[in-house]
């Protein structure tokens, strides 16, 4: 980005030479450019003859059009509507060039001729007329607009409006409250006729029946739903209904609650078929009561275990990076992925990635979760995750553990219910962590993104284990920045309930109406995407219920190769460990084989019980419908390219990338599904019956795969849309300013490295 302190001359050198080219002047717009507005959306300010930069370099290339600021988004309407690339994701509520105001990370105005720049906040003044506006977005886009042909005053006004409206003073000012109110009334009639959104299959866990079902599903017979927090009477951050050990009465719980941070009674998350439970818990605040309360809670959890095994407690604050660490890792990673000049960052790419520590943290969370899984599965004891507030790290670890333990959560609906249960209802402070109101930067932390990255890592290792795709994960993360859904707007269910109650009152929504109806969660994907685009969420490889591979009602598992090694051997007898004693260091590397072999002489350590558990697990074939443990060597941690590099044009592989595999697999699965539907049709045709032509007539309508069966007319080159950024497009979405003059020469000449005289001399050999 820009240097922290900008003095006039140094800033100058970051700027391109003033472009005085006249041939790029725009023709007068012939047609009127209108913003596409949602219901309740109003235009605040607009400016014409704006150029949107669409390439990285500082050239004159760009799209001309109108820049508009509304109470919901920054919109750019290009004059020439180039036909949108087919087969890239299109959003139903946002245009190709739109950015929701909540998605803005930083609004920067620049005056090239004066060599000035300013980061704009709310209600600020701007003493110069901007020649350029740079929008840094939370979804990692960087968008640049140039005003060389625009009216200076209107340009300034639009910039100020964007800055102002992206810093709402109050949560209720977020556009979702306006939009959903209107939408509720406008779509009333449709709803009467159509199905209720409770047909939305994702359990929200705002009612006791959702918890009850979860207890039954996991056979957690020694646990019960407790509703003492109804109307948030006990804790302001717990949901109204929680699950607790059956042996504890409501009165006990009332009494214990006061010992915990924010009166958070420890809550049940999940039970293993062996009876061990996963419980999350805040820290105890009352030092006097601490021991006693803790003992009682632990005793109750022990009592709920079929073998009365003692629970295992893990203090996450002590074992994992803090939310501040995670935020700083993300900031560094963002810097190198999208802001640093591409070629400059190539040379030290790997070590810079390492220095950001992001992957290290991803690994730490996965590793800790896997260890907790061991205690539950291998150690057969209940696990208690403890964290000061129980609202951050616990969300990540409990959700990851359940993802590893329970295949249900690897289905799309299951995953959404998991997020709902362990994040939304458990009171993860989305409002603060996302910093939607831009009030407190210190509270901001991309914990949920970290979780999604962890999920991606498991998915990357077990590509057939999840019903959904990495596109789904990416789109889900983007949805955090669209303020139209209730999921990511609030910090607790109490806050959600209060705001939505006020909202319902203001918008004349009848009492008793379900909040899912009037302020839907993000899980109602049809609000954002067409049915066709939603098929991008479906993983053609998925091995699970309802997937193409379930044969004769039986779920097939992948066989991992039998390992020839086993885990019984412990250590190396010391008498066999001879060979290297002191003295070798003086020998040169080349002549000393012992030195080269040194590392192998270190004895194999004794395995801890958990190491043995993992080793045994990895030596067996993985059952994708059973426990799933990711491999966790540093070399197993991959960089999530789709998420972090999708906007980077230089990093885009055209007509290639993992999507080509997805393309092929989808086509094949589509063919299989067509055949299956044909079979069903025939089976419905008992002799003498006419097959139902109508059901077979429109297979295209409900096809589950985005890419459909191949045909002989397929072109002789791969489809253009297949790039490593698919279904996103880097064009125009990353226009960082680079140091003047592209370092192309450097790219071409490669890195200047390790030229010793010896190698030079040797070159002629």
Partner 1 sequence: MEKSGSVDSLGSKRSSSRQPSVDSLSRDHSELKMICFQQAIRDSDKEELQLLPNETVQDMAQDVTYFCPFTGALRGTVTVTNYRLFFKSMDRDSTFMLDLPLGVVSRVERIGNASSRDVSYGLVCKDVRNLRFAHKQMEDTLRKSIFEVLMKFAFPVSNGLQIFAFEYGQVFPENGWKVYDALSEYKRQGIPNESWRITKVNDHYELCDTYPSTLAVPVNIPDEELKRVAAFRAKGRIPVLSWIHPESQATVTRCSQPMVGVNGKRSKEDEKYLQAIMDANAQSHKLFIFDARPSVNAAANKMKGGGYESEDAYQNAELVFLDIHNIHVMRESLRKLKEVVYPNIEDSHWLSNLESTHWLEHIKLILAGALRIADKVESGKTSVVVHCSDGWDRTAQLTSLSMLMLDGYYRTIRGFEVLLEKEWLSFGHRFQLRIGHGDKNHTDADRSPVFIQFIDCVWQLTRQFPAAFEFNEYFLVTILDHLYSCLFGTFLCNSEQQRLKEEIPKRTVSLWSYINSQLEDFTNPLYVNYSNHVLFPAVSLRHLELWVGYYIRWNPRMRPQEPIHQRYKELLAKRAELQKRVDELQREVANRSASSASERPGSPTRSITPVQTFV
Choose between 356 and 398: whose C-beta lies nearer to partner 1. Answer: 356
- What distance lies between CA 753 and its chain's CA centroid? 37
Choose between 288 and 765: whose C-beta lies nearer to partner 1. Answer: 765
Given a contact cutoff of 8 angstroms between Cβ atoms, the answer to whether 723 and 659 are in contact is: yes
Distance from first CA to last CA of the chain, Å, rounded?
46
Report, in Å, the least distance between residue 475 CB and partner 1.
22
Report, in Å, the least distance between residue 380 CB and partner 1.
24
Report, in Å, the least distance between residue 684 CB and partner 1.
10
The answer to whether residue 561 forms part of the interface with partner 1 (CB under 8 A) is yes
| Binding test (CB under 8 A) with partner 1, winner from 426, 473, 548, 734 | 548
| Binding test (CB under 8 A) with partner 1, winner from 193, 251, 551, 700 | 551
Q: Which of residues 703-732 bind partner 1 (CB under 8 A)?
A: 709-712, 715-718, 724
Q: Which of residues 671-710 bind partner 1 (CB under 8 A)?
A: 671-672, 674-676, 678-679, 681-682, 685, 687, 690-691, 693, 696-697, 709-710
Choose between 167 and 663: whose C-beta lies nearer to partner 1. Answer: 663
- How, if at all, do strands 104-111 and 99-100 pair? unpaired
Q: Which of residues 596-655 bind partner 1 (CB under 8 A)?
A: 596-597, 599-601, 603-604, 618, 622, 624, 631, 633-636, 639, 641, 645, 648, 650-655
Which tokens hold the place of 633?
């060597």
Q: Which of residues 27-46 bind partner 1 (CB under 8 A)?
A: none
Which tokens hold the place of 11?
């800033």
The answer to whether residue 664 forms part of the interface with partner 1 (CB under 8 A) is yes
CA distance linking residue 177 with residue 102, whole number of Å: 13
Report, in Å, the least distance between residue 474 CB and partner 1.
17
The answer to whether residue 660 forms part of the interface with partner 1 (CB under 8 A) is yes
CB atoms within 10 A of CB 346: 16
- Stretches 87-95, 175-183, 304-312, 552-560: which one binds partner 1 (CB under 8 A)? 552-560
324: left (phi over 0), alpha (psi -120 to 50) or beta: alpha
The answer to whether residue 545 forms part of the interface with partner 1 (CB under 8 A) is no
Quickly tell me which residue has 């990673």 as its tokens. 333
Report, in Å, the least distance between residue 619 CB and partner 1.
9
* The dihedral sign for the CA sequence 481, 482, 486, 490: positive
- Stretches 28-36, 90-98, 191-199, 659-667: which one binds partner 1 (CB under 8 A)? 659-667
Choose between 556 and 704: whose C-beta lies nearer to partner 1. Answer: 556
3-class secondary structure, 757 = helix
Phi, psi of 430 (to 5 degrees): -60, -45
Choose between 508 and 761: whose C-beta lies nearer to partner 1. Answer: 761
User: Quick one: the chain helix, strand, coil %, rounded to 5?
Assistant: 40, 10, 45
The answer to whether residue 573 forms part of the interface with partner 1 (CB under 8 A) is yes
3-class secondary structure, 28 = coil
User: What separation in angstroms does the CA of 638 have from each of 176, 456, 478, 654, 692?
Assistant: 36, 9, 21, 21, 49
Angle at 746 between CA 745 and CA 750, to 5 degrees: 120
3-class secondary structure, 332 = helix
CA distance linking residue 95 with residue 92, whole number of Å: 8
Report, in Å, the least distance between residue 647 CB and partner 1.
13
Choose between 233 and 601: whose C-beta lies nearer to partner 1. Answer: 601
Report, in Å, the least distance between residue 604 CB and partner 1.
4
Choose between 212 and 340: whose C-beta lies nearer to partner 1. Answer: 340
User: What separation in angstroms does the CA of 148 have from each of 19, 99, 125, 145, 550?
Assistant: 9, 22, 21, 10, 60
Phi, psi of 618 (to 5 degrees): -70, -20
Choose between 277 and 632: whose C-beta lies nearer to partner 1. Answer: 632
Choose between 38 and 645: whose C-beta lies nearer to partner 1. Answer: 645
Given a contact cutoff of 8 angstroms between Cβ atoms, the answer to whether 619 and 563 are in contact is: yes
CA distance linking residue 23 with residue 225, whole number of Å: 72
Q: Which of residues 404-443 bind partner 1 (CB under 8 A)?
A: none
Query: How far is it between the farthest Cα atoms of the chain?
Result: 92
Report, in Å, the least distance between residue 723 CB and partner 1.
10
Instruction: Find the DSSP H helices in 336-439.
Output: 342-346, 349-356, 358-373, 393-405, 412-419, 430-434
Report, in Å, the least distance between residue 762 CB and partner 1.
5
The answer to whether residue 586 forms part of the interface with partner 1 (CB under 8 A) is no
Choose between 91 and 556: whose C-beta lies nearer to partner 1. Answer: 556
Binding-site size, partner 1 (CB under 8 A): 125
CA distance linking residue 56 with residue 357, whole number of Å: 27
CA nearest to 710, candidates 658, 657, 671: 671
Report, in Å, the least distance between residue 373 CB and partner 1.
18
| Binding test (CB under 8 A) with partner 1, winner from 138, 167, 408, 663 | 663
Q: Which of residues 444-473 bind partner 1 (CB under 8 A)?
A: 460-465
Report, in Å, the least distance between residue 670 CB and partner 1.
9
Choose between 586 and 749: whose C-beta lies nearer to partner 1. Answer: 749
Report, in Å, the least distance between residue 534 CB and partner 1.
22
Given a contact cutoff of 8 angstroms between Cβ atoms, the answer to whether 250 and 244 are in contact is: no
Query: How would you class 215 by CB atoms within 10 Å of its CB: exposed for 0-12, middle for 13-18, buried for 19 or more?
Result: buried
- Stretches 135-143, 321-329, 497-505, 541-549: which one binds partner 1 (CB under 8 A)? 541-549
- Give the H or E element holding residue 693: helix 693-697
Report, in Å, the least distance between residue 755 CB and partner 1.
6
Q: Which of residues 733-752 bind partner 1 (CB under 8 A)?
A: 747-751
Choose between 251 and 749: whose C-beta lies nearer to partner 1. Answer: 749
Report, in Å, the least distance between residue 700 CB and partner 1.
13
Q: Which of residues 324-383 bind partner 1 (CB under 8 A)?
A: 342, 346-351, 353-355, 359-360
CA distance linking residue 369 with residue 363, whole number of Å: 10
| Binding test (CB under 8 A) with partner 1, winner from 80, 170, 441, 763 | 763
- Stretches 43-51, 148-156, 397-405, 667-675: which one binds partner 1 (CB under 8 A)? 667-675
The answer to whether residue 565 forms part of the interface with partner 1 (CB under 8 A) is yes
Query: How would you class 523 by CB atoms within 10 Å of its CB: exposed for 0-12, middle for 13-18, buried for 19 or more?
Result: buried
CA nearest to 473, candidates 158, 225, 51, 139: 139
The answer to whether residue 571 forms part of the interface with partner 1 (CB under 8 A) is yes
Report, in Å, the least distance between residue 83 CB and partner 1.
23
Given a contact cutoff of 8 angstroms between Cβ atoms, the answer to whether 340 and 297 are in contact is: no
Report, in Å, the least distance between residue 710 CB and partner 1.
6
């Amino acid at each position: 980005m820009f240097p922290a302190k900008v003095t006039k001359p140094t800033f100058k050198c970051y700027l391109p030479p003033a472009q005085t080219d006249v041939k790029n002047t725009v023709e007068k717009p012939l047609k009127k450019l209108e913003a596409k507005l949602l219901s309740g959306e109003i235009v605040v300010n607009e400016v014409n003859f704006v150029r949107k930069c669409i390439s990285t370099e500082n050239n004159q290339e760009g799209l001309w059009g109108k820049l508009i600021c509304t109470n919901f988004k920054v919109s750019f309407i290009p004059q020439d509507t180039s036909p949108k690339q087919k087969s890239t994701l299109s959003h139903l509520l946002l245009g190709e060039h739109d950015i929701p105001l909540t998605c803005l990370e930083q609004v920067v105005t620049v005056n090239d001729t004066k060599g000035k720049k300013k980061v704009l906040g709310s209600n600020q003044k701007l003493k110069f007329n901007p020649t350029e506006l740079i929008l840094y977005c939370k979804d990692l886009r960087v968008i640049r607009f140039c005003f060389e042909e625009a009216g200076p005053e209107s340009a300034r006004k639009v910039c100020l409006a964007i800055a102002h409206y992206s810093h709402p003073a109050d949560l209720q000012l977020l556009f979702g409250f306006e939009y959903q109110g209107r939408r509720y009334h406008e779509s009333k009639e449709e709803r009467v006729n159509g199905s209720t959104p409770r047909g939305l299959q994702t359990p929200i866990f705002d009612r006791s029946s959702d918890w009850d079902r979860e207890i039954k599903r996991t056979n957690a017979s020694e646990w019960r739903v407790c509703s003492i927090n109804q109307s948030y009477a006990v804790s302001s951050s717990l949901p109204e209904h929680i699950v607790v050990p059956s042996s504890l009465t409501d009165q006990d719980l009332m009494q214990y609650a006061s010992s915990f941070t924010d009166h958070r009674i420890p809550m049940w998350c999940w039970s293993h078929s062996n009876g061990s439970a996963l419980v999350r818990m805040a820290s105890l605040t009352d030092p006097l009561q601490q021991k006693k309360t803790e003992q009682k809670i632990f005793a109750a959890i022990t009592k709920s275990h079929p073998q009365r095994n003692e629970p295992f407690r893990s203090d996450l604050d002590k074992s994992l990076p803090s939310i501040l660490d995670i935020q700083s890792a993300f900031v560094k990673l963002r810097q190198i992925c999208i802001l640093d000049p591409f070629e400059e960052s190539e040379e030290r790419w790997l070590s810079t990635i390492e220095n950001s520590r992001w992957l290290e943290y991803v690994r730490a969370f996965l590793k800790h979760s896997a260890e907790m899984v061991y205690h539950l599965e291998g150690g057969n004891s209940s696990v208690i995750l403890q964290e000061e507030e129980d609202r951050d790290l616990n969300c990540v670890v409990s959700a990851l553990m359940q993802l590893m333990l329970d295949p249900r959560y690897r289905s799309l609906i299951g995953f959404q219910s998991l997020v709902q249960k362990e994040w939304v209802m458990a009171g993860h402070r989305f409002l603060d962590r996302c910093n939607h109101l831009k009030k407190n930067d210190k509270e901001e932390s991309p914990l949920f993104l970290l979780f999604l990255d962890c999920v991606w890592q498991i998915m990357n290792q077990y590509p057939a284990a999840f019903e959904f795709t990495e596109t789904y994960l990416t789109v889900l993360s983007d949805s955090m920045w669209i303020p139209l859904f209730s999921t990511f707007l609030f910090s607790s269910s109490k806050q959600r309930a209060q705001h939505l109650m006020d909202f319902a009152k203001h918008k004349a929504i009848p009492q008793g109406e379900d909040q899912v109806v009037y302020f839907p969660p993000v899980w109602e994907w049809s609000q954002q995407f067409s049915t066709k685009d939603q098929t991008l969420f479906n993983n053609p490889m998925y091995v699970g219920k309802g997937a193409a591979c379930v044969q004769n009602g039986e779920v097939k598992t992948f066989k991992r190769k039998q390992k020839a090694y086993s885990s019984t051997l412990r250590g190396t007898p010391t008498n066999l460990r001879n060979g290297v004693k002191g003295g070798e260091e003086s020998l040169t590397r080349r002549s000393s084989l012992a030195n080269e072999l040194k590392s192998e002489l270190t004895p194999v350590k004794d395995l801890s019980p958990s190491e043995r558990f993992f080793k045994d697990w990895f030596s067996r074939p993985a059952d994708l419908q059973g426990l799933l443990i990711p491999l966790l060597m540093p070399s197993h941690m991959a960089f999530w390219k789709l998420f972090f590099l999708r906007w980077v044009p230089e990093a885009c592989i055209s007509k290639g990338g993992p999507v080509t595999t997805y393309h092929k697999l989808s086509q094949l699965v589509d063919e299989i599904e067509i055949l299956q539907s044909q079979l069903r049709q025939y089976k419905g045709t008992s002799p003498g019956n006419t097959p139902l032509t109508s059901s077979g007539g429109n297979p295209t309508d409900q096809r589950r795969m985005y890419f459909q069966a191949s045909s002989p007319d397929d072109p002789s080159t791969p489809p253009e849309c297949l790039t490593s950024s698919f279904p996103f497009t880097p064009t125009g979405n990353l226009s960082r300013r680079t140091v003047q003059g592209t370092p192309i020469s450097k790219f071409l000449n490669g890195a200047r490295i390790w030229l010793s005289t010896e190698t030079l001399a040797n070159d002629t050999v």
